[in-house]
Structure 1
Amino acid sequence: MSLKKASILIITILLIDQISKIYIKTHFHLGEDIKVFSWFHIAFIENNGMAWGTKLSDFTTLISDRTAKLILTLFRIIAVTGIAFWLVDVTKKKKSKILIFAISIIFAGALGNIIDSVFYGILFSDSVMQVATFLPEGGGYDSIFHGNVVDMLHFPIWNGILPEQLPLIGGKHFSFFDPVFNVADMAISSGIGILIMFNKKAFHETSKTDRSDSESHSNPN
Structure 2
Amino acid sequence: MSLKKASIIIFMILLIDQISKIYIKTHFQLGEDVTVFSWFKIAFIENDGMAWGTKLSDFISFISDETAKLVLTLFRIVAVTGIAFWLIDVTKKKKSKTLIFAISIIFAGALGNILDSVFYGVLFSDSVMQVATFLPEDGGYAKVFHGNVVDMLHFPIWSGVMPDNLPLIGGKYFSFFDPVFNVADMAISSGIGILIVFNKKAFEESNNSTNLGTIKT
Q: Secondary structure at the match of 1:116?
A: helix
- Following TM superposition, by how much is the alpha carbon of 1:205 offset from its aligned partner in structure 2, in angstroms? 2.4
1:28 aligns with 2:35: no
Taking the aligned partners of 2:214 and 2:17, their CA distance within structure 1 comes to 39
**AA of the residue aligned to 1:125:** S
Taking the aligned partners of 2:207 and 2:196, their CA distance within structure 1 comes to 22
Counterpart of 1:7 in structure 2 is: 7
- Following TM superposition, by how much is the alpha carbon of 1:208 offset from its aligned partner in structure 2, in angstroms? 8.2
Corresponding residue pairs, total? 216
Taking the aligned partners of 1:154 and 1:54, their CA distance within structure 2 comes to 18
Counterpart of 1:174 in structure 2 is: 174
Deviation per CA, 1:73-132, whole angstroms, max 9, x where unpaired? 000000000000000000000000000000000000000000000000000000000000
Counterpart of 1:97 in structure 2 is: 97
**AA of the residue aligned to 1:19:** I
Taking the aligned partners of 1:209 and 1:201, their CA distance within structure 2 comes to 15
Counterpart of 2:83 in structure 1 is: 83
Counterpart of 2:138 in structure 1 is: 138
Counterpart of 1:69 in structure 2 is: 69
Bigger shift: residues 101-110 or 203-212: 203-212
Taking the aligned partners of 2:75 and 2:86, their CA distance within structure 1 comes to 17
Would you say the 8 A contact 2:160–2:174 is kept in 1?
A: yes
1:153 aligns with 2:156: no
Deviation per CA, 1:140-189, whole angstroms, max 9, x where unpaired? 00100000000000000000011111111111100000000000000000
Gap regions ≥5 residues in structure 1:
216-221
Counterpart of 2:122 in structure 1 is: 122
Gap regions ≥5 residues in structure 2:
none
**AA of the residue aligned to 1:71:** V
* TM-score in terms of structure 2 length: 0.96
Would you say the 8 A contact 2:123–2:140 is kept in 1?
A: yes
Taking the aligned partners of 1:209 and 1:88, their CA distance within structure 2 comes to 17
- Following TM superposition, by how much is the alpha carbon of 1:211 offset from its aligned partner in structure 2, in angstroms? 1.6
Check 1:182–1:170 CA distance in 2 against 1; reply closer, same or farther (3 A cut). Answer: same
Q: Give runs of aligned pairs for residues 161-200 of structure 1, distance below 5 A.
A: 161-200=161-200
**AA of the residue aligned to 2:84:** A
- Following TM superposition, by how much is the alpha carbon of 1:60 offset from its aligned partner in structure 2, in angstroms? 2.2
Q: Secondary structure at the match of 1:89?
A: helix
- Following TM superposition, by how much is the alpha carbon of 1:210 offset from its aligned partner in structure 2, in angstroms? 2.6
Check 1:117–1:209 CA distance in 2 against 1; reply closer, same or farther (3 A cut). Answer: closer
Name segments (4+ residues, structure 1) moved above 3 Å.
Answer: 206-209, 212-215
- Following TM superposition, by how much is the alpha carbon of 1:59 offset from its aligned partner in structure 2, in angstroms? 1.1
Check 1:109–1:213 CA distance in 2 against 1; reply closer, same or farther (3 A cut). Answer: same
Give RMSD over aligned pairs: 1.6
Taking the aligned partners of 1:65 and 1:208, their CA distance within structure 2 comes to 50
Q: Secondary structure at the match of 2:112?
A: helix
**AA of the residue aligned to 1:35:** T
- Following TM superposition, by how much is the alpha carbon of 1:61 offset from its aligned partner in structure 2, in angstroms? 1.6
- Following TM superposition, by how much is the alpha carbon of 1:214 offset from its aligned partner in structure 2, in angstroms? 8.1
Check 1:175–1:29 CA distance in 2 against 1; reply closer, same or farther (3 A cut). Answer: same
